[in-house]
Amino acid sequence: MSDYAFQLLAIVIYMLAMIIIGWYAYKRTTNLNDYMLGGRDLGPAVTALSAGAADMSGWLLMGLPGAIYAAGMVEAWIAIGLTVGAWLNWLLVAPRLRVYTQVSKNSITIPSFLDNRLRDNTKLIRIVSGIVILVFFTFYVSSGMVSGGKFFESSFGFDYHTGLIVVSLVTVGYTLFGGFLAVSYTDFLQGLIMFLALILVPTIGLFFTGGLGETIDSIKSVDPQHFNLFASTATVAGVISSVAWGLGYFGQPHIIVRFMAIKSVKETKQARRIGIGWMILSLVGAIGTALVGLAYFQQSGQVLEDPETVFIVMGQILFHPFIAGIMLAAILAAVMSTISSQLIVTSSALIEDMYKALFKKDASDKHYVMAGRLSVLVIAIVAAILGWNPDSSILDLVGFAWAGFGAAFGPTILLALYWRKLTNVGALTGMIAGAVVAFVWGQSETLSGMLYEIVPGFIINLILAVVVSLITYKRNAEIESEFDETLELLKTDRE
């Protein structure tokens, strides 16, 4: 068999594994709670790795190694910020969100939780949140499909549109039928593939570059400042902007929904350790891949034209073609895990937070599950149409969408979980203001060049939500009772 055939075989096996997992999850999905939230029965390992895989996407295997390869460790500040943000998210949000969403009328989506938690009789919070999720995640899903199309085009010479269709069909297939369980189980496997690939490449690569000492010397001969986190290119505003990416975690629906699905509060501690351990080692592997790759090409006298391909190229150099194909599958796993997570959250927003809230309120679970599957299909078709043009600028929305979600939902989630005086008017005001500020700031090259838009958006949301809530606060016995019950259950479940 040719190298091409071995690599393609690895991709086909990976795709078949995703479909089989989707079928298994389909057989276990019997009602809306199963379809949207896996029956709140996920174990800590699946919760942790599925959250990590949904989060990282192709940035972990291509974007970060490429940035470190080209500019050095000064580009690692985003990774540091994300690690701290993810750890705080697991520590502060995961336990309370797991309990509070169940106490507050068994909420199965973020918008429905905010609606129930704040007793918003107008349904505005639920509808506005649902619209924000629907719009941004449709574009987010589209950007993932574009990445999938370009992956097959660059790796196997497929037509861009053929690659986009293949990735879309497989991802939509297991998501549509298997729902949240399929997304979580496939993300778990995808997280393992990504992790193993990122550990293997730099570890084996060190043998080719002569060990740690030789590798470091080779890198310093290219750039003496390559290991310097505070290189001359690092500004205070730049470091703050990079670290501020970590703020986004508190408001990412496709990540924090995992916290709602874990089996119990007690297991969030184990999940946090697994998740942060996976994240740290994966980020170290991505950085190691860049550094070993730089040393390898310096020693061989070759030139790597595109730094973002360092993981792919090193995988092909170091391993048998079939193993190199699994390395390629790791990139595809990163892309598909994010697409599927965003699809199921968008479907949930459309059905649970808009269709169910505004129209059908007394239909059967079977009806809503079917509607959820149909919405996955419709959203995927719209996303594919948006991404049909390979030169689409949709990919530019990824950083903006992260900031938009973080600024709109982050402070709202934290206040809803920790401050009993948050009101529906305060939450809605802060949410809208945070989203608008992030949008306007992000559209200005001058402002966004000074500071990442999530920072002003997050701060404005937090201030307005607190001020307006203090002005509009009226004691509500039901809200107080749920808040107290949540605190009691947290104490009990942790024992």
pLDDT digits (tens, 9 = 90+) for 167-179: 999 999 999 888 8
Q: Determine if the pTM surpasses 0.85.
A: yes
Range of the domain at 25: 3-395
Report the alpha-carbon distance of residue 411 to residue 401 in Å, rounded. Answer: 16
Report the alpha-carbon distance of residue 269 to residue 435 in Å, rounded. Answer: 31
Q: What per-residue confidence (pLDDT) applies to 460?
A: 97
**410 in any annotated domain:** no
pLDDT digits (tens, 9 = 90+) for 289-344: 999 999 999 999 988 888 888 998 899 899 999 998 998 898 888 888 888 988 99
**414 in any annotated domain:** no
**53 in any annotated domain:** yes
Q: State how many domains the chain has.
A: 1
Q: Chunked in runs of 10, what are the mean pLDDT values of the chain (495 residues)?
A: 86 92 89 84 92 84 89 92 96 95 91 92 88 82 84 84 91 89 92 93 94 94 91 82 92 92 92 96 96 95 87 90 90 88 88 76 79 89 86 62 90 97 96 92 87 94 98 95 94 73
Q: What per-residue confidence (pLDDT) applies to 392?
A: 61
Give the CA angle between residues 59, 60, 66 to the nearest 5°.
Answer: 70
**420 in any annotated domain:** no
**483 in any annotated domain:** no
**437 in any annotated domain:** no
**The 3-state secondary structure of the chain, one letter per residue:** CCHHHHHHHHHHHHHHHHHHHHHHHHHHCCCHHHHHHHHHCECHHHHHHHHHHHHHHHHCCCHHHHHHHHHCHHHHHHHHHHHHHHHHHHHHHHHHHHHHHHHCCCCCCHHHHHHHHHCCCCCHHHHHHHHHHHHHHHHHHHHHHHHHHHHHHHHHCCCHHHHHHHHHHHHHHHHHHHHHHHHHHHHHHHHHHHHHHHHHHHHHHHHHCCCHHHHHHHHHHHCCCCCCCCCCCCCHHHHHHHHHHHHHHHHCHHHHHHHHHECCCHHHHHHHHHHHHHHHHHHHHHHHHHHHHHHHHHHHCCCCCCHHHHHHHHHHHHCCHHHHHHHHHHHHHHHHHHHHHHHHHHHHHHHHHHHHHHCCCCCCHHHHHHHHHHHHHHHHHHHHHHCCCCCCHHHHHHHHHHHHHHHHHHHHHHHHHHCCCCCHHHHHHHHHHHHHHHHHHHHCHHHHHHCCCHHHHHHHHHHHHHHHHHHHCCCCHHHHHHHHHHHHHHHHHHC
Q: What per-residue confidence (pLDDT) applies to 457?
A: 95
Report the alpha-carbon distance of residue 39 to residue 449 in Å, rounded. Answer: 44
**355 in any annotated domain:** yes
Nearest to 287 by CA among 64, 43, 47: 64
**283 in any annotated domain:** yes
Q: What per-residue confidence (pLDDT) applies to 360?
A: 65
CATH number, position 280: 1.20.1730.10
